[in-house]
Chain A
């Protein structure tokens, strides 16, 4: 996930199974905890933690998936480009 930000991603989200319905039992709950850890790491280096998020949905919820993609895109668009890109372009200049 950090590599995605290093590559210039403006935001990322993880899609996990619905809580209580994960094939890996606790996999989605653990993933959520790691997402919270990632958000802490991002905040430490001055990147808005809101740029990373996790959603829970099942593979049968195509419409919900599309809605989440739109919601996340709008959220990231409102935040603007990643501060990494700004820094990198300043460095190149």
Chain B
């Protein structure tokens, strides 16, 4: 899932400072699962905004609304009937949802309440960790299912480096060395011969280096 963090109250308050009518928009997808921008978090932020304004003797009207997704226009368009009643939209979706909402309503300011951080997994309730960087060319079949792009601090393709010690990365004692994990996993799978093969230079043009990406499935397109 896409994992995000809510921005600080200070930052959000500064963004909405000039506005009195705010549409606070949550998303029921990834950002709900990582407990950053779902219906509950929309409710909490709305309360905080109201309390802060009330304390300063300032008026604010907030409509709380949580969409099924903010990355599909069919859902975003559900706010069409009432969006004009509000001066600003504060989105609690990931960066993709925030931008798509802004694209659908070009005359409306759309502000982010979330810092989108990574593609990851839930390790346990309340704890999420990065697993993928969407590089566009997966090599997990070569590395025992452990991604060196996302999980090695240097994104090394042939590791470990000299900073690996006792299975930990020199970046932090909390961080497992991805290449130690790869070796351990290949050993467990009986595929250690894969470790001896040098992985060639990665073509980063499939990643962000190639600019913004699109995916097309012509058979699904309606036009």
- Chain A positions near chain B (C-beta within 8 angstroms): 2-3, 5-6, 41-42, 44-47, 83-84, 86-91
Contact = CB atoms under 8 A, between A and B. Distances in A.
Contacts of A83: 55
Contacts of A90: 57
A88 B48 CA distance: 15
A72 to B, nearest CB: 20
B interface, size bucket: 10 to 19
Nearest to B50: A6
Given A44-B9, A45-B9, A6 B51 contact: yes
B57 A87 contact: yes
Contacts of A3: 47
B55 A46 contact: yes
Contacts of B10: 44
Interface in B24-56: 43-44, 47-48, 50-56
Interface of B: 8-10, 43-44, 47-48, 50-59
Give 4 closest A-B pairs by Cβ, nearest first: A90-B57, A2-B47, A44-B9, A45-B52
> Which of B8, B47, B59 has the most A CB atoms < 10 Å from its CB?
B47
> Which of B44, B54, B58 has the most A CB atoms < 10 Å from its CB?
B54
Given A3-B47, A41-B44, A44-B9, A91 B52 contact: no
B51 A88 contact: no
Contact of B44 (A2, A46, A47, A91): A2
Contacts of B47: 2-3, 5-6
B59 A86 contact: no
Contacts of B48: 2, 41, 44-45
14 contacts: A2-B44, A2-B51, A6-B50, A41-B9, A41-B48, A44-B8, A45-B51, A45-B55, A83-B55, A84-B51, A86-B57, A87-B54, A87-B55, A87-B56
